[in-house]
């Protein structure tokens, strides 16, 4: 009995390097061998609201997609951006890409390149989507887009003037868009879109952000100022799953190339790694508490 007690006490006082080692194993194995750990994903209400809002959009509607994340948060948010773009292009929605971070420009270009190379949609630049360049200023840019987009931008990322872009016709301010979707990992983020643009002008807004930011965004979600939220990688995985099922159902859609196979996104496979890591953390916490109680008893 004493040996078991000592074992638990030692387990509760592990060097942090052992914890790092076990966490790395717990994350690596499901990533290398995803078929070993395959856990079904159930959608939550917030992700379902986002899906429903975007699903209600019609062909020709204009959606402003804001890229406010970088390489550090790419694993969490990039799968969301791919799934959102797939969903929007499958409905013939016009996508206007705005990077609010310098790295957001690259993330947007990676996402669009991935969509184009998948050959799932026959999309053309300046007809189906347009990418605007990065401008420094954060919330000033958001305010500028809200009041007069042409005071901020006059050409797209490839230096093509707005007058020569068909889908920029009639687009002057935020009220010319039907929906705004913000992918953010910090500042400026969904709070700035609510405060400076969408709430003031009554444009529906939804957001995908890192798990850490969700607690800050939840009051806006509860008040209806943000319509649903994709929370980190779990949110991305849930949305991917919904879009995957939706695309598989829409076999006769004129926007989808039926000859191309639909591949599920990366967040779904990464959730197994996150599940195992969380479970391991809970186990460590339990061992830590058992050790704490045993030590306290021993000292008393």
Partner 1 sequence: MKRQIAYFLVVFVGFLALAGHFIHYAPLNDFIDNDATQWFDIIAGFAAFLGVINLLQLHLNKVANKRQNWEYSIFTLFGFILMIIFGFIYNGSGFDMGPHLKKEGSAFYWMFKNIYLPLGASMFALLAFFVASASYRAFKIRNFEATLLLISGIFLMIGRVPIGQLIPWWITLEIYICLFFAIVANKFNDKKIMLYSLITSMITIPLIILFLDLTNLSILKIPEFQEWIMNVPATAGSRAIMIGIALGTIAQSYRIITGRERSILGD
Partner 2 sequence: MNKYLKYLILPFLILFIYYLNPFDLFLIGNETTFICVILICFVVEYFIEKAKNGEEIYMRPIAAIKAMEEAVGRATEMGKPVLYIPGISSLDEIDTISGLIILGHVAEMTAEYESNLHVPVCVPIVMETAKETCKESYLKKGRPDLYRNDMVHYVTDDQFAYAAGVNGIMLREKPAAIFFQGKFYAESLILAETGNSIGAIQIAGTGSSSQIPFFVTACDYTLIGEEFYAASAYLSGSPEMLGSIKGQDYVKVGCIILIILVFICSILNSYGYVNFDISSIFRVNVIK
Least Å distance between CB 120 and partner 2? 33
| 293 near partner 1, judged by CB under 8 A | yes
The CA distance from 115 to 89, in Å, is: 9
Name the binder of 218 from partner 1, partner 2, none, CB < 5-8 A by kind: partner 1
Burial 205-226 (b: 16+ CB within 10 A, else e): bbbbbbeebbeebeebbeeebb
* Member of 234, 240, 242, 267 binding partner 1 (CB under 8 A): 234
Angle at 113 between CA 110 and CA 116, to 5 degrees: 150
| 44 near partner 1, judged by CB under 8 A | yes
Single out the segment in contact with partner 1 by CB under 8 A; choices: 1-9, 53-61, 174-182, 215-223: 215-223
* Member of 25, 28, 39, 161 binding partner 1 (CB under 8 A): 39
The CA distance from 213 to 184, in Å, is: 9
Among positions 78-117, residues that touch partner 2 (CB under 8 A) are none
* Member of 50, 65, 68, 73 binding partner 1 (CB under 8 A): 73
The CA distance from 50 to 39, in Å, is: 23
Name the binder of 281 from partner 1, partner 2, none, CB < 5-8 A by kind: partner 1
Looking at the chain, the number of H-run helices and the number of E-run strands are 11, 6
The CA distance from 215 to 196, in Å, is: 20
| 15 near partner 2, judged by CB under 8 A | no
* Member of 216, 248, 282, 286 binding partner 2 (CB under 8 A): 216
Question: Among all chains, which residue has been given the structure tokens 């709430």?
Answer: 199
Residue 290: other Cβ atoms inside 10 A: 15
The CA distance from 41 to 259, in Å, is: 27
Q: Which residues contact partner 1 (rule: CB under 8 A)?
A: 14, 16, 19-20, 23-24, 27, 39-42, 44-45, 70-75, 103, 105-106, 136-137, 140, 143-144, 211, 214-216, 218-219, 222, 231-232, 234, 237, 271-272, 274-282, 284-285, 288-289, 292-293
Q: Which residues contact partner 2 (rule: CB under 8 A)?
A: 16, 72-73, 185-187, 199-200, 210, 212-213, 215-216
């Amino acid at each position: 009995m004493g040996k078991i007690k000592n074992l638990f006490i030692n387990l509760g006082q592990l060097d942090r390097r052992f914890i790092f080692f076990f966490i790395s194993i717990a994350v690596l194995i499901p990533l290398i061998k995803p078929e070993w750990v395959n856990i079904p994903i159930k959608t939550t209400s917030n992700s379902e609201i986002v899906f429903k809002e975007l699903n209600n959009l019609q062909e020709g509607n204009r959606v402003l997609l804001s890229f406010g994340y970088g390489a550090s948060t790419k694993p969490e948010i990039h799968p969301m951006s791919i799934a959102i773009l797939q969903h929007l292009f499958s409905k013939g929605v016009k996508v206007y890409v705005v990077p609010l971070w310098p790295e957001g420009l690259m993330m947007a270009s990676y996402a669009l390149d991935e969509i184009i190379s998948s050959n799932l949609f026959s999309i053309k630049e300046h007809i189906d989507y347009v990418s605007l360049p990065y401008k420094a200023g954060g919330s000033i840019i958001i305010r500028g887009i809200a009041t007069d987009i042409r005071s901020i931008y006059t050409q797209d990322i490839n230096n093509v003037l707005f007058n020569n872009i068909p889908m920029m016709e009639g687009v002057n301010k935020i009220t010319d868009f039907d929906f705004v979707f913000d992918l953010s990992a910090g500042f400026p983020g969904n709070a700035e879109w609510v405060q400076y643009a969408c709430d003031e002008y009554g444009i529906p807004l939804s957001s995908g952000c890192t798990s850490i930011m969700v607690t800050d965004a939840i009051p806006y979600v509860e008040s209806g100022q943000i319509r649903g939220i994709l929370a980190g990688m779990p949110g991305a995985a849930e949305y991917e799953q919904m879009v995957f099922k939706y695309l598989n159902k829409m076999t006769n859609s004129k926007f989808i190339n039926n000859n191309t196979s639909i591949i599920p996104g990366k967040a779904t496979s990464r959730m197994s790694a996150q599940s195992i890591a969380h479970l391991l953390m809970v186990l460590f916490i339990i061992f830590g508490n058992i050790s704490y109680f045993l030590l306290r008893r021993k000292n008393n």
